[in-house]
Amino acid sequence: GAVVSQHPSWVICKSGTSVKIECRSLDFQATTMFWYRQFPKQSLMLMATSNEGSKATYEQGVEKDKFLINHASLTLSTLTVTSAHPEDSSFYICSATEQGLSGELFFGEGSRLTVL
Amino acid sequence: GDSVTQMEGPVTLSEEAFLTINCTYTATGYPSLFWYVQYPGEGLQLLLKATKADDKGSNKGFEATYRKETTSFHLEKGSVQVSDSAVYFCALSDPSTGNQFYFGTGTSLTVIP
C-alpha cells in the first residue's frame, strides 16, 4: 500500500527555537495532506489541511503563524513549529490522501516533539 | 454535521477473550468507514475498511460490518492476543464533504496474558 514517511521521528529542542517536520508520500502523489496533533492518551486533533500549491486551511484555534505549513510539491509537506515552547510538546502526525483511492488516508509514523 | 462516536475505554481483556468496540456514525452522504490502529509510539495504520452498506471489512482476525440501518461499524475479534494491545480509532470519510475524515476519540485496548 501507499507509504507516508515523517522525519524526524523524535526531536528535542530548546524553548524559543523553531523545528521543522517533514512529511513525504513515497510512492504516490498526495494532493491533500493533513497535520494532526495528539496529546497523551487523547484522540487526534486536526490542525490543518494543505493542498499542493495553495495555502493551508487551519482549524479553529490553531495559530497559523505558530504552525507554518508548506505543501510545495505533491510528495512533500512540512510543518514548522516556530518559537517553540514547552506547551508545544506533543506527537505530530501527518497523513495524505490521493484521489481515486477510496478516500483512504495514509498516515506517517508520527513525530514526537519535546521542547525543553 | 458528520461525526463518529465510539465506546470509551480503556478496555482490558484477558488473552483469547472476545472483543467488541462499538462505533456509530452520523453522515450527510454515503461515507466510507474505517478502523485504524495505533500501536504505542507509532502513527496510525489502516486496520480495515468498508465502502458501502453491508460490506464487511476484515484483517488480522478483526472484522467490522457496515450497517446502514443502525449507522454502525462495530469492531470485533473472536480471540484477542497480547499483541493486539493498542488504541483503535473508528473513522469515516464522506464524499459529500470532499472526503473529509472524521475520527472517533479512540479506544485503548490492553490485553493481559
Q: pLDDT-based confidence at A72, cuts 50/70/90? A: confident
Q: pLDDT-based confidence at A103, cuts 50/70/90? A: low
Quick one: average pLDDT of A14-31?
92
Q: pLDDT-based confidence at A92, cuts 50/70/90? A: very high
Cβ contact A110–B43 (<8 Å) = yes
Question: What is the per-residue pLDDT for A82?
Answer: 96
Q: Is A22 on the interface with B (CB under 8 A)?
A: no
Q: Which of A103, A106, A109 lies closest to B99 in CB terms?
A: A103
CB A23 within 8 A of CB A6: yes
Q: What percent of chain A has pLDDT over 70?
A: 95
Q: Is the pLDDT of residue B101 over 90?
A: no
Q: Is the pLDDT of residue B6 over 90?
A: yes
Q: Is the pLDDT of residue B102 over 80?
A: yes
B80: Cβ–Cβ under 8 A, 6 or more apart, which residues? Answer: B13, B15, B16, B17, B18, B19, B109, B111
Question: What is the per-residue pLDDT for A3?
Answer: 87
Q: What is the pLDDT of residues B71-94, one digit of tens each?
A: 999 999 999 999 999 999 999 988
Q: Which of B42, B93, B103 lies closest to A103 in CB terms?
A: B93
A71: Cβ–Cβ under 8 A, 6 or more apart, which residues? Answer: A33, A50, A51, A52, A53, A54, A56, A77, A78
**CA A62 – CA A54 distance, rounded (Å):** 18
